[in-house]
Structure 1
């Protein structure tokens, strides 16, 4: 329990540092959101309207410390300010609208690619020297292709030339966004091409990493001892070799889940998919600092949460860490 408490305390401090940096960076930059919004209007703006805008964006002439306490209070109540690009929509509402699309697409694809890649890596290492060795050069080739090139290639072949799949959007705009069979089918149909891009581009990395770790683990004494005891091949492969070889891959998987919230930006931009990555791209284009600030904060906290879950899962998966944690407590 002391190990868990120490890790929680550490991540609370890191989260506080991320929140503080997220507060300071926009205030260190020249100008503010109201100046940007007034410049876009390109006309005479009533000073009273400017004052109202500054209040709406949470800007004040108070001291930095008072602004910081107000920022923490607003953050505690879920108030991340108002977006310039989608004004007067609140940043939290914009994130709440885009986040499910990213979690649904990028999250599911990350899990699928991890499961398929690690499973194929285990089999390729266990049956090395056979036909599975042909997976290595092909997956290495796929791993070397930038995923945005893969996306453009698939768009050209299946969207433009063959016309089999849609090349933009998350669903048919003629359909009302309600939970119906037709709407869900349209969502899955539009997600198919970006999903293929993400899975094909990322599965190779999981396969190669797991295969290399599995080959190293198969040379350990405890695996040889398990084979000498006459245990079944499946039990040796899964309970002895794969269980220990998967630990580094699990760390990478936890980090990948953390970055899921950030989305695969270029993939979402290429397919105009309304996720967090595409929204962040729009915020950068429109110099929407409140939206960028909110998105960066959500992404940072998501990565921290994923790392914390990975640390806790390591204690359950690795008996050595569990023993050290028990001894320390």
Structure 2
């Protein structure tokens, strides 16, 4: 319990730091969002309109502490400000619209890659020294391929040349979005090629990491003792070796889940997939600082929550974390 309390306190401090940094950055930078917005508006605005815009973006002449208080209250209400590129659309709405696409695609493929990679890694470690070792060069090659390069190759071969998959968008624009079989089928069809890209480019890393760690654990004395006692091979492999070997992978998996909210930006950009990564890319192109700030905050919170979840899982997987320190 003391272990979890210390971790929660640490992550609360990190969350407060991220919020404070997100508040200070636009106020320390030269210029402000209103200047960028007025540059895109033809004609001039009267002083009253400019003042109203500054108040809408939280940029007033009041004390900085009072601005910070108002900023915190706005965050608790879910108000992340107004976008510049999509003015006057709230940042929270843009992030909320993009989030399901990224979680559905990147989240699902991350879990699939982790499960497939972990199981294959354990199997390759158990059968080390056999013909399965010939798969290692192939896995090393797949692990070294960048997402965007593999995505471009798959688009060229299966999208452009063979025409088996769609290469842009999240669904058929001719279909009205809704919980219908036609729309869901279109979403799955458009997501197929990006999903294949992400799984192929990421599962090999999980395989290599899990195999190497399991091989190391198999050389430990307690595993040798378990084998000498005549315990079933499956119990030795899963209960002794794999359970301990998976601990480093849990941390990496938690970081990967946290990165899901950020999306695999290059992959989403290549496929024009309407997720958080593509929205962030658009925000950078449009110099949409409020939108970039809102996404930075959401991504930071996602990483913090994912790491906290990993620490909770650690408590159940590693008995040493449950031992009270004197």
Specify the SS of the correspondent of 1:269.
Answer: helix
Counterpart of 1:280 in structure 2 is 280
Higher mean alpha-carbon deviation, 6-15 vs 269-278, is at 6-15
CA shift for structure 1 position 279: 0.4
CA shift for structure 1 position 130: 1.3
Distance 1:231 1:19 in 2: 52
Counterpart of 2:312 in structure 1 is 312
Counterpart of 2:124 in structure 1 is 124
* Structure 2 segments unaligned to the other structure (5+ residues): none
Distance 1:223 1:114 in 2: 24
Distance 2:8 2:325 in 1: 16
The one-character-per-residue Cα deviations of 1:205-260 (angstroms, maximum 9, x if unpaired) are 10100110011000011111111111111111111110000100111001110111
CA shift for structure 1 position 3: 2.3
Distance 1:22 1:57 in 2: 13
* Conserved 8 A contact 2:3-2:322: no
Counterpart of 2:199 in structure 1 is 199
* Conserved 8 A contact 2:217-2:241: yes
* Structure 1 segments unaligned to the other structure (5+ residues): none
Distance 1:217 1:3 in 2: 25
> Cα RMSD between the aligned structures?
1.1
After TM superposition, the runs of 4+ consecutive aligned structure 1 residues lying more than 6 A away are none
* Conserved 8 A contact 1:140-1:204: yes
TM-score (norm 1): 0.97
Specify the SS of the correspondent of 2:208.
Answer: helix
Q: Counterparts of 1:27-66 in structure 2 under 5 Å?
A: 27-66=27-66
TM-score (norm 2): 0.98
Distance 1:259 1:164 in 2: 29
Higher mean alpha-carbon deviation, 42-51 vs 312-321, is at 42-51
The one-character-per-residue Cα deviations of 1:96-137 (angstroms, maximum 9, x if unpaired) are 100011100000000000000111110011001112112210
Counterpart of 1:158 in structure 2 is 158
Counterpart of 2:141 in structure 1 is 141
Counterpart of 2:251 in structure 1 is 251
Matched, 1:328 2:325: yes
The one-character-per-residue Cα deviations of 1:183-210 (angstroms, maximum 9, x if unpaired) are 1100000000000110000011101001
Matched, 1:11 2:38: no
Specify the SS of the correspondent of 2:40.
Answer: helix
Distance 1:73 1:220 in 2: 53
Matched, 1:2 2:2: yes
Distance 2:320 2:3 in 1: 13
Distance 1:213 1:294 in 2: 38
CA shift for structure 1 position 297: 0.2
Count, aligned residues: 326
Q: Counterparts of 1:153-302 in structure 2 under 5 Å?
A: 153-302=153-302
Matched, 1:86 2:83: no
Higher mean alpha-carbon deviation, 192-201 vs 4-13, is at 4-13
Specify the SS of the correspondent of 1:261.
Answer: helix
CA shift for structure 1 position 28: 1.4
